[in-house]
Amino acid sequence: MSSNSAYTSDRRAPVRQPMDGEVVVEIQQTELRGSGQNISTDGVFFIADASVPVKVQIDGEDGQRVGEIVRIESMGGGKVGIALRFSSD
């Protein structure tokens, strides 16, 4: 397989392109409420009936985009990956 196999085997419709620039996200909602699912001394997992609206500034683009957080993943080493979906309006 080629080194780009992760991009060619991706089944999501919009094409993903690598980028190397700063992304600044302003989280507009300050409170989330949800149903607790489990708890330990290390943390809590809960499910919220909410979207988390954000404003996004991407390096090299004029203005801001509006969207919402759709996924947060632990990347290890104290880092997280955050997936945002842009609003269509």
Look up residue 6 and give its two tokens: 């992760």
Q: What is the mean pLDDT of the chain?
A: 85
φ/ψ (deg, to 5) at 83: -100, 130
**Is residue 85's pLDDT more than 90?**
yes
Whole-number pLDDT of residue 1: 44
Whole-number pLDDT of residue 28: 79
**Is residue 36's pLDDT more than 70?**
yes
Name the pLDDT band for 12 (thresholds 50, 70, 90).
Answer: low
